[in-house]
Chains A and B, each alone.
Chain A
Amino acid sequence: MPATQDFSESRTLIDDLLAEQQTMTAAAKFSRLHERHQLPAQARYYRDLIPLERPRDGEQYAFAVDLDGCTGCKACVTACHNLNGLDDDETWREVGVLFGGTVLEPVQQTVTTACHHCVDPACMNGCPVLAYEKDPVTGIVRHLDDQCIGCQYCILKCPYDVPKYSKKRGIVRKCDMCSSRLAVNEAPACVQACPNEAIRIEVVNKAEMVREAALGKFLPDSPDPAYTKPTTLYRTKRKFPANMQGGDYFHVKPEHSHPALVVMLVLTQLSVGAFGMAVLLRTVFSAPLVARFTPFHSLVALALGLLALGASTMHLGRPLYAWRAFVGLRTSWLSREIMAFGGFAALASLYAGSFWLSLFAKTAGLAIPGMWALPIAQRASGILVVFSGIIGIACSAMIYHDTQRKFWSDARTFLKFFGTAALLGPATILFTMTAQTLWFTTARHDPAFREICSLLAAAVLAVSAMKLAWELSIFVHLRDPEFSLMKRTALLMRGELKAITLARFIFAFMGGMALPLAVLLGMTEPAFALAVMPLCLLGELLERSLFFTAVIPPKMPGGVAA
């Protein structure tokens, strides 16, 4: 080792070089060349790319994209990321690509896209806490980060996949057209950074944008602009062939499963269904037997309902601010749902509490004045509980229907949600009654009990059959000649989501059809009746998970997906 002796001293070349490596030199050596001048030097390139004047009445700012200049370099995405100081994996702009034409005359077109600062922003309309505002002068759709409760409903509402959820902050964030830059006549980051000057800010007439949207004028293979009236202007001198498709057109992937929402939806519907069934039983059967069951029915229904509402807060990024939800009542179905279920929970607590109160009074031999009025009050409040629950479920359904996603729209969500209530309601009552007979054994041989059980089993069987048939009908779309949205959902359920889909139908068949049939056929073993509800519940939870994962959200054309 010839060099060894050179390094016997305490400080070696290695030490010196390691120390030198850590010494920063650039600032000291060179920075004096770079004046601390104030003016943004870059202005010389973007001066012509932003409007000279503020919008007037009926006007707003909009992105204008020169598609002939966009060549897919994606500098806009990274510039936005860096100049806005976004999180490591956070981007507010995307670049997709459209392919089309013919084999002899192929066409591709890259497309830069960000928030379209819509005339009628769906994100803003859906927000339960008014965390969005559309600037009255500039028309920029801004997100109020500190107002956001992290419900992510705007993500479902926006057809352009614009708001992005930040898990570590518990809120969504989105493009604000660099409004603070525009306010001082600086260009937004993307405008500053496009090497080909393909992005600019223009003043547009809102009424004109609404007219264009109604005509469907926007960009090929993009969501229908009539929904939110996006303002971005996509311009090209070319004429696109009719078959332009996004680079990710054939790429279907499962969406987020939102487990807290799955639990919340299924259990609220169970709770409403169970209360409904309990009230119905009390109305139809005046037998004292039913009265014996009611306190336990209502307790279970209430407990599961409250559990559902608890679960819903797990979905929120900032649950401590959930109380703000009342402010969005005027436009947001989510606000309305929260209000309706809030009312439902209060009424249901009173209703269930009243039975336990009278039970307690009876057991303790206490005479409470006015007790005579209790049955009347109970009957009235029972109807109110069910009524508020139905409104809650309808609001739930409207939340999803209102996103205009095909798999969730029209009657689909209503049928599913009310179907769940109609299924799990009788199933839960069947469960609680049968469970109660484990210690209240005399009831087991009461013919009324048997009759009620048979009725409940028949109801479960009938609702299950209809609901499953309806759900299975999605697979008809596998035969669609086009790559329709419903076909994509069906493909997902048959493909990546196969295991969950299979499990969903197996549980539903066992719990909703095979076991109720056994009960109907007179198998008196309590285990049969007891197993109906858990299996049906599992099946519904899986159905609801598929509801979220198998939906195909609308979006702008994406990049090549692999």
Chain B
Amino acid sequence: MKDHPLIKKIGSLIRAHDGALTQDLVQHPGEFGLGKVPARLMPDDTTTTICGFCSTGCGLNVHLKNGEAINLTPTTDYPVNLGMACPKGWEALTPLRSADRATTPYLRNTSGTLEPVDWDTALQVFTVRFKAIQDQHGKESIAFLSTGQICTEEMALLGALAKFGMGMLHGDGNTRQCMATAVTAYKQSFGFDAPPYTYADFEESDVLVFVGSNLCIAHPIMWERVCRNKNNPEIIVVDPRKTETAMAATQHYAITPKSDLTLLYGLANILIASGWIDLDYIEKHTSGFEEFVRFVTRFTSDTVSAATGISVENLWRFADTIHRGKRVSFWWTMGVNQGHEATRTAQAIINLALMTGNLGRPGTGANSVTGQCNAMGSRLFSNTTNMLGGHDFLNEAHRKKVAAVLGIDVGCVPSQNSWAYDQIIDGIESDKIKGLWIIATNTSHSWINQRSFNELTKKLDFLVVQDMYYTTETAQRAHLVLPAAGWGEKEGTFINSERRHGLVKKVSRAPGQALSDFNIFKLVAQYWGCGDMFARWSSPEEAFQIMKELSRGQPCDITGIDDYLMLDRAGGVQWPWSGESTSANAGAVNEERALPGQERRLFEDGAYFHADARARFLFSEPCEAPEPVDDEYPFTLLTGRGTSSQWHTQTRTAKSAVLRKLYPENAYVEINPLDAERLGIASGTLVAVVSRRARVEASAFIAMTVQKGQVFMPMHYAVTNELTFPSFDPFSRQPNYKACAVRVEKA
């Protein structure tokens, strides 16, 4: 009776266990090694690519259907992320489908609104306007601001086109805002911009020191590697705030903001005075140590303790931990890079590694953790600060080499250095820069003391913004918007924090008329009239072959990488890789057509890139922060990453409904309960944060994790950079985002 079809039918009508709604969530084996996937999203193929957000450079396994991406999972076998990704990586495809994608060029019309135009019109206007400015104000009066977010091949073509084809002298990238300090520090100390490490070092240290790095939140997948460390390591975090990473540490030193340089010199002094240094390494591989010893003696524990707020006992504990470590690695991120004496701070970290012989061995290193997905590509190939391939504009031999590789007249290659980002903006103020081309960055949001830049854009005769979205704060100020295809809609390579070239593939169709940056640059070249000069740059992969030639003989030599297929097969390749058996190529698999080892570090032979092969001890007297607190502005404003689901100015992460759920919707300011009580501020109420530049409103969040006298605001909300004070490291010209003076009052 129970099995009668009619009874069954009635039964399932009364209690339905299946049906269309249930089927909606059914999973099927995805094959391709995927495990189960939603049945609706069954791939018919998969391919790997590299994530386009941060510099970790995670491998993502894109699920394809009819050649197009329908879903993704982290790549299990990729040597970087070992099957994991952060929320941004998981959601990487979503921002591509946003409704506010620029699908056509936009030109500002006479009534001041952006109006869709076709590519031909856009390119004609681009050429006519920029050339007119150059005719009137000189070739150098137009400049470009590039990015760490596009492919290396695209950066190289942009840099070559702008400087060699269009006659620009000044161009910089948003990497100035994140990595310039590390670049300068490494160049001066090691002789080349060369982060020495590989991610395996996270796993192999017995002591890890993080300075100004909230790795758990900013680089969760690097933190994954720390968690895989089997040595029960000491983890030391230097950060004014008790961050997620500080919570996970075994020792946290909550220093007074911007006292890191003093702290590091103090540690050096203790290590030297106690004989906890590697004299043999120092003697064989470094120079300048005696001067450094003399310099740091004045950093006694008492003075350092007074300046940093760290007790003498804890200073010694810190130094002792470094001393006891057999494999000590030092890591730094934006807390160091974005400071007023950032280069020397980074070098003070390098000095500690050098003097304790913690370089060139597994689990060691003075290691800068990069910001953007292709910051390293920008550092080596954007033709801004460095000439293509890590060359020097001031060096005649370099100019000749680059001109020869590109097959262009050496006369086209400028023999002067470019202005840095801040100098280009100053150039607008002084009427030296009249035209600006901004590519894949959001200056109107991210630039320090943002209001001043936004005012200055009104002085520009012509502002072109090339971006995926027409809605970015910067695009909204442009005269011309060029619609760019985004990550996933084009091919090319990124270079991650550990020097790994990884392959980015085209897995999604760009919307409307959007074109890859590479294709836009080709069109610009054609319309500008210098198309022939770049005829060899026919595709990203051809550009990669040019990059290989440019790198020949350089520390960043990649001539051993055959092509994209090899990159894909090898799981990315760290530079250098010339294919020959040199010490820098150590770890090579000894096969006929060898694939490089997947985890290779630099300086295993102790040979640095200076002519004498020695690393330098470099140092300066610490100086006071440029905007100290006073009675009127009694708080130090710290800025930084809010959550792992937010990326910089949020042009992409804000497009994912899921990511939006994972961070607070509105700007907030973290304030210590003692300060909040004194000011009569309740958690969750709206307060005003006031600096000498601006007064903005934010929601108060009372947290003991921020110290008394300090407040913290995430950088992702546009109001934050209305407050910041424009000061710059003198060597790297990187903006000092991390400390300015503010007051907090009831809104």
Contacts and interface: CB of A to CB of B under 8 A. Distances in A.
B134 to A, nearest CB: 14
Interface stretch (B160-168, B242-250, B423-431): B242-250
A22 B508 CA distance: 8
A45 interface: yes
B interface, over-half SS: mixed
Contact of B36 (A18, A103, A181, A247): A181
Nearest to B17: A144
B316 interface: no
A33 B569 contact: yes
A44 B245 contact: no
Contacts of B128: 1
B15 A79 contact: no
Nearest to A145: B21
A21 B512 CA distance: 10
Contacts of A82: 71-73, 90-91
A85 to B, nearest CB: 3
A7 B35 CA distance: 51
Interface in A27-46: 27-31, 33-45
B35 A40 contact: yes
A469 interface: no
B246 to A, nearest CB: 9
Interface residues of A, number: 94
Interface string A457-471: 000000000000000
Contact of A78 (B90, B247, B565): B90
B664 A81 contact: no
Contacts of A17: 515, 519, 522-523
A327 interface: yes
A45 B76 contact: yes
A146 B506 contact: no
Interface residues of B, number: 124
B47 A31 contact: yes
A75 B86 contact: yes
A91 B509 contact: no
Contacts of A291: none
A52 interface: no
Contacts of A74: 86-87, 643-645, 662
Interface stretch (B180-188, B447-455, B472-480, B525-533): B525-533
B242 A106 contact: yes
Contacts of A196: 223-224, 227
Contacts of A45: 76, 82-83
Contact of B704 (A40, A42, A99): A99
Contact of A3 (B16, B84, B529): B529
B220 A75 contact: yes
B302 interface: no
B668 A562 contact: yes
A3 B86 contact: no
Given A33-B568, A251-B684, A144 B22 contact: yes
B532 to A, nearest CB: 10
A265 B312 CA distance: 68
Given A26-B64, A327-B15, A71 B217 contact: yes
A85 B41 contact: yes
Contact of B658 (A35, A71, A88): A88
Interface in B519-552: 519, 522-523, 526-529, 531
Given A6-B526, A103-B674, A27 B77 contact: no
Contact of A41 (B45, B76, B124, B658): B76
B699 interface: yes
Nearest to A43: B35
Contacts of B732: none
A146 B32 contact: no
A24 interface: yes
B358 to A, nearest CB: 25
A193 interface: yes
Interface in A13-72: 13-14, 17-18, 20-22, 24-31, 33-45, 68-69, 71-72
Nearest to B684: A250
A109 interface: yes
Interface string B694-705: 000011011111
A81 B658 contact: yes
A521 B49 CA distance: 83
B419 interface: no
Interface string B256-273: 000000000000000000
Interface in A176-227: 178, 180-181, 184, 186, 192-197
Most buried by B among A3, A39, A110: A3
A324 B699 CA distance: 47
A356 B453 CA distance: 80
Instruction: In the A-B complex, list the 9 residue pairs whose CB atoms are closest, starting with the nearest.
Output: A85-B38, A146-B19, A40-B35, A195-B224, A73-B220, A78-B90, A562-B668, A106-B704, A89-B657
Interface of A: 1-3, 6-7, 12-14, 17-18, 20-22, 24-31, 33-45, 68-69, 71-75, 77-79, 81-85, 88-89, 91, 95, 99-103, 106-110, 129-130, 144-148, 169, 171, 173, 178, 180-181, 184, 186, 192-197, 247, 249-251, 324, 327, 559-562
9 contacts: A14-B119, A14-B123, A26-B491, A82-B90, A91-B661, A107-B242, A145-B19, A327-B15, A562-B665
